[in-house]
């Protein structure tokens, strides 16, 4: 199988510089390998979707010259596939119903990698289907490890670091961890290139892949862009990319990724030059990286 990559933004607002860094890295890694690059809209968390955000994301990617292959995949259309995967986990005894509230879990006081570790209260209760609650994945007792192409070895003991995690929420929505695993497998993704803010989620995804008998792709997590020590995000009101300054935005993203910047010009020409010079080994080995004047050309002057 040849290289298959993807970019998977959430339609909770417009693309910002941090989004662009992940998009450019994944596009260049795929194109430099002669591979395919797909676009997936991660809208499984329907209440967080912002009207018009998806269209804005597509228009911005087009203006930046980041062309994708095939049709756009939308998680909102894929509920049946997630249900099928969940059914397989439950049939294998790897998922169970949990009635615990957030407050009850918080009262356990056991802090892990990503918040409070679920204490396993409902793990062996075999609660019936009519009990309101979520469904959790029964994590393995063994260590789950992988080697990231930038961040090196990542290892977690999920039982003590995370606990059994939710795959179907109390409100009936499928959880991100399950959805992304099924989506990547169905697309035939061989390489996942994304921000290091998702690095701690990766062992959970690997555990689900193994439980479902799905292949594990290679992973490459690029540093997260920060400003004043705070991660750029829609929640922190990071400014939207201005498609009229596409060349400057691309130059900033390439510099942030440690790549040799091509001559300023039309986005397609800059991306073609950057593709030919792409070297993942030059990406800084860090989970986050502060924006400097060298990277800030995609931003308003007063940021």
- Each residue's pLDDT, cut to its tens digit, for the chain (303 residues) gives 699 999 999 999 999 999 999 999 999 999 999 999 999 999 999 999 999 999 999 999 999 999 999 999 999 999 999 999 999 999 999 999 999 998 999 887 789 998 899 999 999 999 999 999 999 999 999 999 999 999 999 999 999 999 999 999 999 999 999 999 999 999 999 999 999 999 999 999 999 999 999 999 999 999 999 887 778 876 665 788 888 889 999 999 999 999 998 999 999 999 999 999 999 999 999 999 988 755 444 443 332
- Together in a domain, 95 and 167: yes
| C-alpha to C-alpha distance for 274 and 281, rounded to whole angstroms | 14
- Together in a domain, 166 and 93: yes
Residue range(s) defining the domain that contains residue 91: 79-142+162-171
- Structural domain tally of the chain? 2
Instruction: List own/partner pairs for 263-267 with CB under 8 A and 24 or more apart.
Output: 266/65, 267/63, 267/64, 267/65
| C-alpha to C-alpha distance for 89 and 85, rounded to whole angstroms | 6
b/e string for 206-239 if b means 16 or more Cβ within 10 A?
Answer: bbbbebbebebbbbbbbbbbbbeeeebbbeeebe
Report H helices in the chain: 17-32, 53-63, 79-91, 102-106, 158-161, 176-187, 202-212, 246-256, 267-277
Structural domain includes residue 135: yes
Structural domain includes residue 136: yes
Structural domain includes residue 70: yes
| C-alpha to C-alpha distance for 45 and 253, rounded to whole angstroms | 28
- Together in a domain, 38 and 55: yes
Question: CA dihedral defined by 237, 43, 195, 153, rounded to 10 degrees?
Answer: 140
- Together in a domain, 94 and 166: yes
Structural domain includes residue 278: yes
Could you tell me the pTM of the whole model? 0.93
- Together in a domain, 13 and 49: yes
Structural domain includes residue 153: no
Encoded tokens for 145: 């490890």
| C-alpha to C-alpha distance for 37 and 157, rounded to whole angstroms | 32
Name residue 194's beta-bridge partners: 221
**CATH code of residue 10:** 3.40.50.620
> At which of 125, 154, 171 does a domain end?
171
Compute the 3-state secondary structure of the chain and give helix, strand, coil in percent, each to the nearest 5.
Answer: 40, 20, 45
- Together in a domain, 50 and 124: no
- Together in a domain, 26 and 70: yes
| C-alpha to C-alpha distance for 153 and 236, rounded to whole angstroms | 30
Q: Is 100 helix (H, G, I), strand (E, B) or coil?
A: coil
- Together in a domain, 38 and 110: no
- The per-residue pLDDT for 298 is 45
Structural domain includes residue 279: yes
- Together in a domain, 101 and 167: yes
| C-alpha to C-alpha distance for 40 and 187, rounded to whole angstroms | 10
CA dist 250 → 4, 31, 32, 256 (Å): 22, 16, 16, 10
Structural domain includes residue 179: no
Structural domain includes residue 217: no
Nearest to 191 by CA among 146, 256, 230: 146
- Together in a domain, 99 and 41: no
> At which of 150, 171, 192 does a domain end?
171
Beta strands 288-290; 224-227: pairing state: parallel
């Amino acid at each position: 199988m040849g290289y298959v990559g993807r970019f998977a933004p959430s339609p909770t607002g417009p693309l910002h510089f941090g989004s662009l860094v992940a998009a450019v890295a994944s596009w260049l890694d795929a194109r430099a390998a002669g591979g395919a690059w797909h676009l997936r809209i991660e809208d499984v968390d329907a209440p967080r979707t912002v009207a018009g955000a998806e269209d804005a994301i597509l228009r911005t990617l087009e203006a930046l010259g980041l062309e994708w292959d095939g049709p756009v995949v939308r998680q909102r259309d894929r509920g049946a596939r997630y249900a099928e995967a969940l059914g397989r986990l439950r049939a294998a005894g790897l998922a169970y119903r949990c009635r615990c509230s957030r407050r009850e879990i918080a009262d356990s006081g056991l802090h892990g990698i990503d918040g409070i570790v679920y204490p396993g209260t409902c793990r062996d209760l075999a609660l019936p289907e009519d009990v309101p609650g979520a469904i959790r994945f029964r994590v393995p007792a063994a260590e789950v490890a992988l080697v990231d192409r930038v961040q090196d070895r990542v290892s977690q003991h999920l039982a003590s670091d995370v606990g059994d995690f939710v795959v179907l929420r109390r409100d009936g929505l499928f959880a991100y961890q399950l959805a992304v695993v099924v989506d990547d497998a169905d697309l035939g993704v061989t390489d996942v290139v994304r921000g290091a803010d998702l690095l701690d989620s990766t062992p959970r995804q690997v555990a689900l892949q193994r439980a479902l008998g799905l292949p594990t792709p290679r992973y490459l997590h690029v540093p997260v862009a920060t400003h004043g020590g705070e991660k750029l995000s829609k929640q922190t009101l990071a400014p939207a990319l201005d498609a009229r300054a596409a060349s400057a935005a691309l130059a900033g993203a390439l510099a942030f990724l440690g790549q040799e910047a091509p001559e300023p010009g039309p986005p397609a020409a800059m991306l073609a030059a950057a593709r030919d010079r792409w070297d993942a080994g030059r990406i800084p080995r860090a989970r986050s990286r502060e924006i400097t004047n060298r990277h800030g050309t995609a931003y308003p002057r007063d940021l």
